[in-house]
Structure formats: structure tokens, C-alpha cells
Structure 1
């Protein structure tokens, strides 16, 4: 028989070839469709060679196998965005590697991924992917799975990893997965060498079987909810090079056998509850970075640490360590920083930590160090921060330390240092904070101090400085805070102080200063606090001071004479002017400052005859006004008795109103009450309604009507229909008055003025200054383009700093903090110059007292706690709040300022907010920059990113991790000075964040 021809069998072979397998031409079409489905950044060259006229294997980012079929796609950091078309990509039959990390890809990872069965490497990290991860069972050839730093939600399919036995890299951290126990299935993947599960919502204890993963080099499980002890089985991981366990709830000691990890270079177990000592670490000679801050560790630092030749970062702050630091610590390599603040260390400062000239930060605040500052640090030109406050250090400061060129902060406060400030201070061109308070420094201030032009804050209080304050101080144009209290300075206050145009606070109290108060102080438009008390100042109080908006003012115990200028003759300043026998008061102010004598005719400049005439005129006017007021009241009461109503529909009845004024007023309660009508309504909120009231005097005020309650016929007793109740329980007058009394004492340039309260049995009115430019919310999110254009970056930054200062004052300017409880952009109002004022401060507490009906704390737990989008996460599990909840809300406001976005937008995803959206993008410089509002110019973007990082600190999940508002103000001021923030958000920079938190502690306490 004839054999059949092979050609006759060809159709049979073709039938056996899978119909879905693309040819080379089809692969080209798949890639071109992939290109077409994505967008690229303007400067991206990712697809420049992706042209139908070029061979597929020559495309940038494409590799082919020996048969010319596409095997790898690598477009990492290529500037592409859009959704990944897995349905077509997974039709590439030879595709073994798909690397699309560090781009702007979004959307869900579709189930089509399961068709990429040949994948060995899948890297989609640092994108904006959302949705859930599909089952990964078919991808059993995977060796690298990297989905970290996205916005992936839902339950991660841990069980589907069981068959991925070739997996070497598992990196799925920094995603908001549903909470789950530590995935034991992972511990069966014995080829793993990198495990990254940080910030992935896992909880519970680490199983002992982690000791089976002996190939592990890198384990990162920080920022989760893990508990229990560090399993001793970790000591079996002899290849381990990096171990990060920070920000969990680990307890117990560092387990025995830890010293076997001889290759360990990076160890971070900070922010846990570990105890015991460091003896198990004494043999880890390859350590580069050791981060154990914020635990409960104790004992001494092993002397062997002094021989660690690679150690560059060393942070143990906020523990209970004692003893001395090894003398050779940090002397072997390019040591970067040390932070051992808030412990009980004794002895001297190790002298050679800057031996290699690379040290940037020396932070040993709040310990018991003794001796002098080693002379070697005077030559450490790399130093950025030198903070040794609150120790027992002594003797003179090495001369060169004053002039270090890169030093930002020099903090020597609360020690026993002596001697003068070195003349080299003029060369410290980067210095912006100088803290020398509570020492024994002496001598005259060097003229060169005025050349340190970057200084923002100087505190020399409680020392022995003497001599005159040089006029050279006028060169400090950036100076915000000046504190020379309790020294022996003499001579006149230099007129040049008026050139320090940024000054907000001046304290020269308790010195031997003499001569007149310089009129130039009145030129300091930002001045908020002025204390010149307990000196020998003479002459008259300059009238220029009346133009200032001071929240704190003290001229007491001097030798001032003459009449108190109008504007300073108010009751609130009575104690501020005491101890000046030569001062007198005249005119209206005589009733406010009864402690001062009345001025003589010569002092007041008024003749006896003219005085008599004026007295008669005022007396007649007073009698006339009294009769006029009585006539108006009687007329309204007659109208009420007849059931008459106002033209606006208001019902006027016999009600007793009580007005408590906190400032000089140009109106009475009836003028305010009569203006509460629909035409004047300008806003509503959870706390009540706001009315704009134009007074007969021409002044405009804002009236906040706290929600009232009809009890026993309140409708009939209301003076106006607009004051009818809104359905809450009857206010408790005593608690309300107590809270309002506290708020009335607030005096700050960045806080809205409260003029008075007006109350009846059922209603509560608060009268504030009116701010004409509306709220920050209006300016950022308003409907008109003009509103948006008004806020350039400079204005946004000034608003951020000003609002922060206002909150700082509320939190730190009182014996106990005043909590705002509802910080948001609509509660930050703007004046004519777009300067911010905090509004509705403490109003939630006022409402609480109004709602409690005198029921005490038991009924206060569920009162207003903020606005959706601004509410701190701890409200989800506790009703207890403190100032850190305000800090969180302020962080949201900062994010609004930098991004131009609202706290809640559909783009963020269901149940997501701006904090989630921003923090997901804080992992790389490129993605951070992309978050910044496009209207902010390129030259300001670096500064904007720094502010955004402050915002990220403020919105930390744990309240204890958030800085105080005082620290926030400092960091914001640093951002404007072009200084590097001591706070980095990304995982790789997390250690630096710890440094910033430690430094903030001094201020917090």
C-alpha cells in the first residue's frame, strides 16, 4: 500500500494547534492595543519604539525568547497610566515576566490574570490598583509576586498561595486588605527570601513555623496589629539581613539566640511594648541601623556596640535605658545620627561619632548626661541638628559649634553651660532655632548674632546675659519668636527691633532695661504676644501699640508714665499695666482700669473749663440715651401685650436676655436679637445657624445661634420667630457659661474674636467678629474660578502656618488644652488679607454642655465629634478625644491645601477619604509630586511636598504617632526655610520619622 502523503496530514496537525495561540503578527497587535489602552506622561518615552514598522522584539521594555515570542514586558517607572488589559496580555503564550511597577496604573486586577499561567514574575507595585486580588492558584510558576503599595482591598487570597511553591519574593504590603490573622500558608513557602507584609492589616501572633523559612533575607512585617512575643524561632533565619517589626504590639524580651543572626544589618522593632535589655544583640557586628525607640527596654547599651564598625543609625529614644554610652560608639564608619532622647543615660557624650564627618543629627534630649560637649563636634560641619537639652552638661560650649554652616537647630537648654555666645554665630547661615534657656550663659550678645539671618526662634531666657541688646538684631528678618526673659540686659530696647518684621512673640521680661518703649514695636503687624514686664522702662506707652492685635500683653512693674492710650484702656489689661505708679487713665477707660488714677488736666491735655463743658455734655447725653432706651423697651412691651408682630414675622414677647461682654461693644443685645431673621442667614451647620448682622455703627458681626429647645412653651416666650427651638435637650446654663467663659479669654491673631454671649432660658447666641473673605473651604472648593485663582502657593502656605499657630495657641497656651473638636477648612475663616482665623473653637464642648442638661460626663460621650472626612480614626473605637484628634483633622486640612481636593471624593473609592488617597501615593518622589495640585507652580512643589509630609504625620493612624501642634508649627516653618523635614513617610525613610517624633517630645511636654 501507498503511504499517505505528509501534505494530506497537514490539516490534521493544524486542527491540533490551539486556535487561541497568537502568531508573531498577532503578538504585535496585542502590544499595540496595550499601548493604545494606556496614557503616558508628557515626558515619557516608554512607547517611542512601539511602532508597527519595527520588529516586536525591538520595542523598548520587550524581551523575546529564542523563538521570537514575547517573554518579558518591563515598563517599570515608564510614566504610564490607565487600566491593565490582562485579557489581551495573558494571550501572549510565552509571557513569563510582567513588570509594570511605579506607574499610575489604576482599576482592578481582573480575573483574566489567571490566564497568565506561564508567569514567573509579576510586579505591579507602586501603582493605584484597587479592588480585590483574584485567586492565584493557576499561577503556580510564580517566583516573584509584588503587589505592594497600591490601594487593593478585600480579603487577600492567602490560601491560593499554597501551590506557589517556587515563590521567592512575596511583597503585598502597604495595601488596606481586610483584617486577617498572620497567614500560616506563607510559612510553607520554603524558597522565600523576601517577605514584605507591612501595613497589610494582619493581626495575631507569628507562628513558630516561621523558623522553617531558612532562605529568608528580608522580613518586613511592620505597621500591623501583631501581638505576643517575638518568636525565638526567628533566630534560625541565619541569612537574615533585614528585620522590620515596627509599630505592632509585640511584648516580652528580645529572644535568646538572636545573636545567631550574624548577617543582620537592619533591625527595627520600634513602637512596640518590648522590655528587657540588649544583651542578645551584643554580637551583631554587621548592624548598620538599629531602631528600638518607643518601647520599655532598659539596662545599659552593651560595650560591644562601640566596636560595631558599620553602625550608622542608632535610635533608642523613649525607653528606660541607663548607664553610659560606649566611648567608641559611631567612630568606625560614616555615622549618620543618634537619638537616645528620653532615657536615663549618664556619663559623657561619646566624642567620635562625627569622626568621619558624616553625622547629621545628635539628639540626646532628656537624659542625665554630664561633662562638657566634646571639642570634636565643633568641627562637625555636616551637623544639621544638635539637641542636648535637659541634661546636666556644663562648662563652655566649643567655639566652633556656634558657627557650623549646616546647623538648623542648636538646642542646649536646661543644662549648666556657661560663658558667652561665640562670635562665630554670624556664620551659622542655616540656623533657625537657637535654644539656650535655663543655663548660666553670660556676657554680652555678640553683634554677629544679627548676621544669622535664617533664625526663626531664639530662647535665651533664664541665663546671666548682660549689657545692651545690640541694634544688629534688626537684621533678623525671619525671626518669629524672641525670648530674653530673666537675664540682666540693660540699656534701651533698640529701635531696630521694629525691623524684625516676622516677629510674633517678644518676651524681654525681668531684665534691667530702661528708657522708652520703642514706637517701632507698633510696626510689627504680626506681633501677637508682648511682655516687657519687670524692667525699668520709662516714658509714655506709645500709641502705636494700639494698632497691634495682641493676645498677650504685659507692661507691668516698670516706670511708665502718662495717660494709657485709648485702645489699651480695657479691663482685660488691668494687671498688664499694674506696678507703674506714673500711669493714669482718662475718658471711657477710667471705668475699665479703676486701679489706675485719673489723669490730671496737664496729663490729659484738657483745660478745667473744657473738662467741665465735656462733663456736662456727656451727662446730658447719658440721661437722654437712658430715657430713649426705656421708651423703646416700654413700647415693645406694649406691642407684645397686644400680640403685635414684627414685619418679618417675628413674635416679640417679654423675655429676659442676659448679655455677657468680653470686649468693648458698640451694640446691645436687642440689636442682635432683632437681626436674627432669614434675610441675614449666611450658614447652617450641626451646631446651629450663622447670621451676618450689620450694626447701626457700621460694624459687621457674625452671630452663631446655638440650637435652642422649646421647653414649656418656649415658642410663646421667644423674642423672634427665628429663635424657635430645633429639637435638642434644654441647655444647662451653668455648664454653658463656664465653657463660654473659657473661650472668651482666648486672644490670638489666628483665632476668631468672641465679642459676647447673649442668653435666655431657651436660647444661646455667640457674637463673633465677621471675616469678609469667607472660609478656606470656599476658596479651595468654591464654584467660581476666581475663588480658586486667589490662592497661590504663598497664600496657601501662610494659611497653613497661621491656622497651625491658632491651634497651637488653643492646645498649648493654657493650663489645659482647649480642644476644637471640629477642625475643618470651613472653620478656617479669612480676613481681607487672606490671613486665617480659627472659628468655632471649643464649640463642640459648648454644645456638649448645652446638650447634657447638667447630667455630667455620663451624658457627654456622644456629642459632636467632628465632620465626616476630618474625623480621626480613634472615634471608631473610643469616644475619648484629646488634642491629637484635632491634629488629625488639621492634617486633612493641610492635604486639602496641597492637593486642592476635598476630603471625600468618589475617586478615592467607596468608604475612602483623602488621607487614604494621599498616603497610598507617598511611597515615591514621583507619585508624591503627582498628588500636588496642578495649579501650584513648579518652583513651589518641593515646599508643597514637605507640607504634605507634615500632613501625613498629622494623620498617623495612632494618636501617639501624631506630633503636637507646636511641633507642626515648627515643621511648617522649616518647610518654608527650605530645610529638610525631619519626618519622612515612606517605608525606606521611616527611621527619620522617628527622629522627628523624638524632637517633638521636648515641645510636647
Structure 2
């Protein structure tokens, strides 16, 4: 009896010791990890409580931990797998969708009883360890977890019970399709997307007959889809998009009758779609940007689950199935950029859920079905570049959720109805190149979200709505080539966001409203070929216009002297009653009545001399005041120096070097000085000017103050500099310190002896940059921008990416400069930075013309322009591109034949490298897509450039006849 009691006591002691040990392991885990979630997920992890009652913890009947599920709880920190694997009964460890970091050590292999392991969607680093002891594992999720290096595929061979293998979205080393995967006969979920797999899909894939999900997207997989894919009869989802697949759909794909989601977009697939007509359970079918031809199977019209169909940019012909989308709650159709004929199916919104109707650039005919008048869920209605006719159903104009109505280049008639007042979400109205007539309804001013209006090349008549000034977000207004009459509305001057106005070739009369001169961002104004009379408002002199055309009107009086410049040559022709003192092709302005010519000349000379004297006196006083202020600041030691790195220089060394002989550059954010320290080291110092500084007398548009008029540093400046100082990347210029006072601010950077990329490519001192150097610059700059966008705690937007902001060190290694300064200059000027578009003409993304939203995709566009400069050797803006054209539009216009594409490559690049240059140009085209959503992230750009694999040349711009508004799935 005593021995039995002793045995029982020993058992209870061991059990108690085990529970105590497991409690200690869990409490250690809780102390190691941190959570930003509310309530705190560890609030129930009380040492006085039983550990099996902890949130996310489950135990077996013996109170031993079997499951830890802390997924999606905003956890951060590193894991101690040695401790966790000491839990003797642990079968489930779920930590996905957190922000865990550090490496995954080989100790993970000690968790030999694990059946379920989820470490996906975290921020680990390093490679994934060998785990041959995890033979019981059935579910392995390490997707999107920050892993790199080679993946230990062979160590998985012991996991014969594996059901789910999800390792995609990691930066693994390039490898062929892992044949080891083909040994997992119980596998039903295989996720290998975006993990740098190359080569072909092996025929052995057909052995995995239990698969319900197969995802291989965003890799470098080439060759044909193997016919053995037809053996996977249980597939529910098949994702193959963005690879290099070729050939036709194999015979046997018709067997995949359980398939609901199929995406093979962005490949080189060809042939017809007939093999898919048997897949009656399809819910989503996306095959855009391939080379498919033939007709869309009529059977698609009877697919009763189909809600998404995206086939744009192929060579499909024939009609769309009449009953397409009429069975389920159809979401969107995009069959743009094909050769489709027939009519638009009438019943795709039958269930009232459709959001996007995109059929632009085909050969469709007939009328727009009236059924879409009641489709209130539509957000995008794009039918441009077809042969549609008839009257637009009135309800189309007033769809309450529609963002864009694009009817351009058809044969549509009638007019815009008053229903447009109900289009509260409408921001883009494109109806140019049709047969519309009548007046623009005054109710158009009630569509207050409008950003862009283009009704050009129609038969509109009557007066323009006088209330057009109510469209406060309007950026682009194109009314040219109509029959509008009456005066230009004075209220147009209230559209503070408008940058582009074209009313040419109408019958407008009356005087030009002076309010046009108050439009703060107006960049292009074309009022030519009208009947405007009276003087040119002097207020126009305050604008900075890239295009001004007032030709062929009835204007009279003097051409303002500030507009009498070479840039506006031809802008005033065809106005015989205009005169000028400076333009020889116009009659000279007569003197005032009663005044002799000599007296008039004398007065003019006297005024000019007086003005010159005032300017000289002002400059003299200002320069002396500035020098006195500078000396006084130095003597009073009023500088505040904040260092961000170890410094080898003193404040006095910097201040003593800010003098004219050390000036090496001047730009939008101030002067730049070269400083040589006593130890021989070189620095670059940027002097950012104060608003109260007398430099303001120069009236240069590039000078923007960072300090208030009272000389106080802005909080925005300090905050932004703090962010910039934290940036550490080999391809970003080092910021050593900031030096500020009440009157100035200095930023001290590392010095780049080889100047800017712009200088090396385009200046009179340009040198021959070989292709290897250009390619290296392209990759390294992309890595720098990738770091700014993805590697910082929060994204840092550059806002002014251009070749002159890419500096080169002594080895021609690039550094990105002036990142964030555009935002500093805006914020500190006291204006809302979201309403001021920073950047340089030729590099600015097109969406900035109609939206104030600044995103990373703007930097991507600007980077694409730099790639085009590197490949072509051309500047962003060249006269040879044509009026109002930049390098992007020039490149796109040349993508007609292979010969023209090769001719784009800089002649200084040897023939042997031209194919590589074209590959980089393809990346540039992707980066400069018109729509931001179509541009890749900088992380993707780096991968495309490093892979040196031919990227798919966008047929969106090769064969199209449209105008750059192609939707491409959005």
C-alpha cells in the first residue's frame, strides 16, 4: 500500500512539475512579445490562473498544452523556439498575420509533434531551417514571412501527411519547380506564388489529384501548361498569372469542372478559349494580356456562377454572349482592347450588383442598353472607341456611384441630360468625338466631384453654364471643336484646381474674364478660333503657362509685356487689332491722345530709369542687411545643430564655407555649397532660404520658404528632418546633420564628386556612360526607392524623383537626393500639401492633373521616366517629341514595330546590349502606366530588373488606337 501511495505521489509531483514548467514557458512567451491590439490578448495570461485558461491556449485532458493560436493579434518581437518546442504535447502553433521578426532557428525542428505550423505574414529574416523531424506536420504556412535564401525542399520529404504547403511571397533564391512537392499525395493546397520559381511546370503535377488549390503566380515559369493539369479534377482555384507561359490551353482542361477561380493573365498564351466552355462552375475568369484569339464561347453566357470576367488586351473576335452575367450577382466585365463585334449584352446588371462595365476599344455597335440606367452600383462605365450609336439613356448620366463615364469616339447622339445632377461621385466625364448636341445643362455644376470634363469634337451649342465655378475640384476642361457661344463664365475663375482649359474652335464672344488670371495652378489655356474681343487681361501675366493660345479672335489693345516672350510665339496671331511694343509682327501701340511721340518716349525712359534705380537701391540695402544678419548670427552663436551621425567637423567649419566661391548649384530648395574640411573630407551643404530673406527680391519661382515670416522654425520641418535623418541606405544620400537658426536652415550631406545623372546624360559636359553603368544605376536607384517605400516604419515619398536628383559618387554608384524636401517645402509654406503637387515637368504622374492624392505610385512613374532617359539618352522633355509631348508619350508612339522599338535605344549603347536595354524599357513602360493601379511597386520593379528576364511588353500601348485611358482591369 505504501509503495502505491509513493508511486501516486511521484506521478502527481511530475504532473505538477510539468504544469509549472509549461506555465513558465507561456509566461516567458507573453513577456517576450508585445501587442498593439485592444484589448491586450495577454490580459488573461495571469500567473495565478490555470495556463489552460489563457486566451489562445488549448490543452489535452492532462492539462498539457496542445495548441497556441495567437494569429492576427498585432504581435511584435522575436520567438524562442527552444522554449516553445519544450512543450511536450504541442501540436498547433499559429502565429500568422503578426509583425514577428528575427530569424527562425534550427531549434524549430525540436517541435516534433507539430501538426499545424503557421508563421506566415510576418517579418522574419534569413532562411527557413531544415525541419526533417517534423514528420507529423500536415499544415505548413510560411508565406509572406520575409524569408530569403534557399528553401530546404528536401527536408520536407518526411512529411508524408502534408495537406497544406504555403510558402509563397518570399524572397527565396531562384530555383526550378521543386520536384519534392510531387511526393505529397495528400496535398490539397499548394501556394508557391511569388517565390522566384523558374523553368516549366513538371508533368508530374498531375499526380497530386487531391489538389483543390494550385497557385503558381508571379514567378518566371515558362513553357506550356502540361496536359497532365487535366488530372486535377478537384481543383477549385488555379492561379498562373504573371509568368512566361506560352502555347495553347491543353486538351483535358475541360475536365476541371469544379474550377471556380482561374487566372492565367499576363502570360504569352495563345489559341482560342474553347477548352474552357465546359467549366460551368467558373465564378471568376481572368485571362487578360495574353494573345488569345477566336470568339468568346457562347457557353459563357449560361455560366450561372460567373461574376468576374476579365479578357482585356487579347485578339478576341465575334460577339459577347447575349446572356452574359445575367444569372448571378455579376460584378464586372473587362473585355477592352480586343476586336469584338456585336452589341453590349443587356443583362449583366440584372441582379443589381455590377460595379464595372469596361468594353472600350473594340468594334461594338448598336445602342447602349437602357437596362444600365438603373444599375446604381456601377462605379466605372467605359465604352469608348467603338461604333456605338443612338441616344444615351438619360439615367446613365445620373448614376449615383459612377466615378467615370467614358463614351469617347463613338457615334452617339443626343445631349447630356439634367440627370447628371444626381452623379454625386462622378469625377471624370469623357464624351469627346461623338455627335452630341444641344446645350450643356446647368445641372452639370451639381456634379461637384467632377475633376475632368472632355466634351470636345461634338456639336454642343448655346452658352456655357455660368455656375461652372461651383466645380471646385475641376482640373481639366476640354470644350474645343463645338459651337458654344456667349461669354466665358466669370465664375470659371473660382475653379482653383483647374490646370488645363481648352475652348478652342467655338463661337465664344465677349471679353476674356480677368478672373482667369487668378487661377493658381493653370498651366494650359487655349481659347483660339473664337470671337473674343476686348483687351487681354493683364492678370494673365501672373500665370506660369506652358501653353497659351489666343489666336484667331477679335482681341484688341496692347499685348502685355510679360506675355511678349518667345515661348508664346504665335499665341496672338489672327488678332489684327492687337498691338505690341516688343513683338515686331504686330503693329506698334500708339501713344496716348494729346501726347507727342517724343514726350511719350521721354516718360517711358524716365519710368524705366526710376524703376532701375529703385531696384538697385533695394538690392544694395538687402544685400547689406543680409550680410549684417549673417555676421550677427554667427557672432551671437544662435545656431542649433542636430547631428544624426558621428561628425568629424565643427559648426564653424560649415558656416565659414557658406560663401559665393563655394556655390556649386541652385535649385528649388535652395543653394548648394561644396565644403572642404580641414581633414580633406568633402561635404555638400544645402542652404534653404527663409521667407523673410532678401533673396526674395529675386522673385524666383523656385524659392520656397521653410520658415515663417517671423523666423520661427516650423514643426513640420523638424518632424520631417527627423524622419529623413533616420533613413539608412547605401543608395540614399547620407544626411549628417541639420543646422538651423531664426533666419536660415542648413542641411549637411555627403558630397558626390561625379555630380548628377542628368549632367552625365544630357549636359554639355556629358560623358559616355556604358550600358553596364546605366543598368547598375537603374537597379541601385530602384533599391533606394524600394527602401523609402517599403523599408521604413512608414513610407517615405520622394515627390520629386528625377535624374538631377540622382547623384553619383566617385565610383558612379548612385545616391537619391532631396527625398522628402518637396514635402518639407510645401508643409512649411503654410499650405495644405495635399493640394500642391510637387515635382518637375516631364516627371509628374498624369493623375496629379486631376487628383490631389499623392502616393508611392507617383514616385514609380517618375522613376519610369528616368529609366527611359537611361535607355534612350533623351531628356524628359525634348523639342523633337512635339508640342505638349514628353518622353513617355514619345516612347509609346514608337511601339509599333520591332524596328522602331530598337531605334529608341541610345545610339551610344553597343548593339550587343540593345536587347537588354529594351528589357529595361519594358519595365519603364510598366512604371509609367497612365493609371496608378497598373504600375508595379518598387519592390516588384527591383525584382524585374534583377531577374533580367524579358518582361511582357504591354500590348496595351502597342496595338491600341486609343488615347491612353485604357482601363486594364480597373
**TM-score, normalised relative to structure 2:** 0.71
Give the aligned partner of residue 457 of structure 1: 452
Measured at CA, do residues 200 and 616 of structure 1 come closer, stay the same or move farther in structure 2, by a change above 3 Å? closer
Q: Equivalences for 1:1-80 in 2 at 5 Å?
A: 23-41=18-36, 43-80=38-75
Distance (Å, rounded) in 2 between the aligned partners of 1:307 and 1:895: 48
Distance (Å, rounded) in 2 between the aligned partners of 1:360 and 1:174: 29
Alpha-carbon deviation of 1:612? 3.9
Does structure 1 retain, via aligned residues, the 8 Å contact 2:733–2:815? no
Give the aligned partner of residue 703 of structure 2: 771
Distance (Å, rounded) in 2 between the aligned partners of 1:249 and 1:534: 52
Distance (Å, rounded) in 1 between the aligned partners of 2:352 and 2:815: 42
Does structure 2 retain, via aligned residues, the 8 Å contact 1:681–1:691? no
1:689-735 CA-to-partner distances (Å, cap 9, x unmatched) read 31589xxxxxx986999xxxxxxxxxxxxxxxxxxxx9xxxxxxxxx
SS at match of 2:771: coil
Alpha-carbon deviation of 1:964? 2.9
Alpha-carbon deviation of 1:18? 14
1:218-272 CA-to-partner distances (Å, cap 9, x unmatched) read 0011000001100110100110000000000000001101010010000000000
Alpha-carbon deviation of 1:952? 8.2
Give the aligned partner of residue 711 of structure 1: none
Measured at CA, do residues 960 and 401 of structure 1 come closer, stay the same or move farther in structure 2, by a change above 3 Å? farther
Alpha-carbon deviation of 1:596? 1.3
For the pair 1:947 / 2:937, whether they are aligned, the reply is no
Does structure 2 retain, via aligned residues, the 8 Å contact 1:270–1:293? yes
Give the aligned partner of residue 962 of structure 1: 926
Give the aligned partner of residue 653 of structure 2: none
Does structure 2 retain, via aligned residues, the 8 Å contact 1:347–1:370? yes
For the pair 1:613 / 2:602, whether they are aligned, the reply is yes
Alpha-carbon deviation of 1:872? 3.5
Match of 2:505 among 504, 507, 510: 510
Match of 2:305 among 310, 329, 332: 310
1:125-177 CA-to-partner distances (Å, cap 9, x unmatched) read 11111111110101110000000111111100011111110000000100111
Measured at CA, do residues 494 and 854 of structure 1 come closer, stay the same or move farther in structure 2, by a change above 3 Å? same
Distance (Å, rounded) in 2 between the aligned partners of 1:474 and 1:619: 39
Measured at CA, do residues 789 and 945 of structure 1 come closer, stay the same or move farther in structure 2, by a change above 3 Å? same
Does structure 1 retain, via aligned residues, the 8 Å contact 2:456–2:479? yes
Does structure 2 retain, via aligned residues, the 8 Å contact 1:898–1:944? no
SS at match of 1:611: helix
Distance (Å, rounded) in 2 between the aligned partners of 1:171 and 1:701: 52
Distance (Å, rounded) in 2 between the aligned partners of 1:948 and 1:120: 41
Alpha-carbon deviation of 1:901? 8.1
Distance (Å, rounded) in 2 between the aligned partners of 1:894 and 1:418: 49
Alpha-carbon deviation of 1:968? 3.6
Give the aligned partner of residue 781 of structure 2: 871
Give the aligned partner of residue 174 of structure 1: 169
For the pair 1:899 / 2:810, whether they are aligned, the reply is no
For the pair 1:501 / 2:496, whether they are aligned, the reply is yes
Give the aligned partner of residue 679 of structure 1: 659
Distance (Å, rounded) in 1 between the aligned partners of 2:163 and 2:489: 70
Measured at CA, do residues 703 and 601 of structure 1 come closer, stay the same or move farther in structure 2, by a change above 3 Å? farther
Match of 1:539 among 534, 543, 547: 534
Distance (Å, rounded) in 1 between the aligned partners of 2:526 and 2:776: 36
Give the aligned partner of residue 427 of structure 2: 432
Give the aligned partner of residue 345 of structure 1: 340
Give the aligned partner of residue 843 of structure 2: none
Give the aligned partner of residue 587 of structure 2: 597
Q: Equivalences for 1:158-197 in 2 at 5 Å?
A: 158-197=153-192
Does structure 2 retain, via aligned residues, the 8 Å contact 1:264–1:284? yes
Measured at CA, do residues 344 and 22 of structure 1 come closer, stay the same or move farther in structure 2, by a change above 3 Å? farther
Alpha-carbon deviation of 1:579? 1.1
Alpha-carbon deviation of 1:954? 9.0
For the pair 1:417 / 2:407, whether they are aligned, the reply is no
SS at match of 1:150: coil
Distance (Å, rounded) in 2 between the aligned partners of 1:847 and 1:950: 24
Distance (Å, rounded) in 2 between the aligned partners of 1:369 and 1:682: 66
SS at match of 1:338: strand
Does structure 1 retain, via aligned residues, the 8 Å contact 2:557–2:577? yes
Give the aligned partner of residue 202 of structure 1: 197
Alpha-carbon deviation of 1:365? 1.1
SS at match of 1:400: helix
1:352-387 CA-to-partner distances (Å, cap 9, x unmatched) read 000000000001111110011001001100000000
SS at match of 1:98: strand
Give the aligned partner of residue 112 of structure 2: 117
For the pair 1:325 / 2:233, whether they are aligned, the reply is no
Distance (Å, rounded) in 1 between the aligned partners of 2:863 and 2:474: 29
SS at match of 2:564: coil
For the pair 1:133 / 2:128, whether they are aligned, the reply is yes
Distance (Å, rounded) in 2 between the aligned partners of 1:891 and 1:581: 58
945-954 or 117-126, larger mean C-alpha shift = 945-954
Measured at CA, do residues 1000 and 66 of structure 1 come closer, stay the same or move farther in structure 2, by a change above 3 Å? farther
For the pair 1:847 / 2:760, whether they are aligned, the reply is yes
SS at match of 1:140: coil
Measured at CA, do residues 486 and 428 of structure 1 come closer, stay the same or move farther in structure 2, by a change above 3 Å? same
Alpha-carbon deviation of 1:396? 0.7
Alpha-carbon deviation of 1:474? 1.5
For the pair 1:690 / 2:665, whether they are aligned, the reply is yes
Does structure 2 retain, via aligned residues, the 8 Å contact 1:148–1:171? yes
Distance (Å, rounded) in 2 between the aligned partners of 1:844 and 1:299: 48
Measured at CA, do residues 898 and 8 of structure 1 come closer, stay the same or move farther in structure 2, by a change above 3 Å? closer
Measured at CA, do residues 522 and 890 of structure 1 come closer, stay the same or move farther in structure 2, by a change above 3 Å? farther
Does structure 2 retain, via aligned residues, the 8 Å contact 1:824–1:870? no
Distance (Å, rounded) in 2 between the aligned partners of 1:109 and 1:945: 39
Measured at CA, do residues 324 and 824 of structure 1 come closer, stay the same or move farther in structure 2, by a change above 3 Å? farther
Distance (Å, rounded) in 1 between the aligned partners of 2:206 and 2:530: 71
Give the aligned partner of residue 221 of structure 1: 216
Distance (Å, rounded) in 2 between the aligned partners of 1:50 and 1:622: 80
Match of 2:84 among 89, 100, 124: 89
Distance (Å, rounded) in 1 between the aligned partners of 2:320 and 2:59: 57
Give the aligned partner of residue 633 of structure 1: none
**TM-score, normalised relative to structure 1:** 0.68
Does structure 2 retain, via aligned residues, the 8 Å contact 1:235–1:258? yes
For the pair 1:238 / 2:146, whether they are aligned, the reply is no
Measured at CA, do residues 789 and 406 of structure 1 come closer, stay the same or move farther in structure 2, by a change above 3 Å? same
Does structure 1 retain, via aligned residues, the 8 Å contact 2:146–2:170? yes
1:890-920 CA-to-partner distances (Å, cap 9, x unmatched) read 996799896248999xxxxxxxx999xxxxx
Distance (Å, rounded) in 2 between the aligned partners of 1:895 and 1:773: 30
Distance (Å, rounded) in 1 between the aligned partners of 2:418 and 2:25: 71
SS at match of 2:124: strand
Distance (Å, rounded) in 1 between the aligned partners of 2:508 and 2:734: 44
1:934-984 CA-to-partner distances (Å, cap 9, x unmatched) read xx99xxxxx999935777899999727835364349999xxxxxxxxxxxx
Does structure 2 retain, via aligned residues, the 8 Å contact 1:892–1:951? no
Does structure 2 retain, via aligned residues, the 8 Å contact 1:964–1:1000? no
For the pair 1:262 / 2:280, whether they are aligned, the reply is no
SS at match of 1:267: strand
Measured at CA, do residues 792 and 300 of structure 1 come closer, stay the same or move farther in structure 2, by a change above 3 Å? farther
Q: Equivalences for 1:536-575 in 2 at 5 Å?
A: 536-575=531-570
Does structure 2 retain, via aligned residues, the 8 Å contact 1:438–1:462? yes
Give the aligned partner of residue 387 of structure 2: 392
Alpha-carbon deviation of 1:770? 4.0
Does structure 1 retain, via aligned residues, the 8 Å contact 2:289–2:955? no
Give the aligned partner of residue 728 of structure 2: none
Give the aligned partner of residue 1003 of structure 1: 964
Match of 1:519 among 514, 522, 526: 514
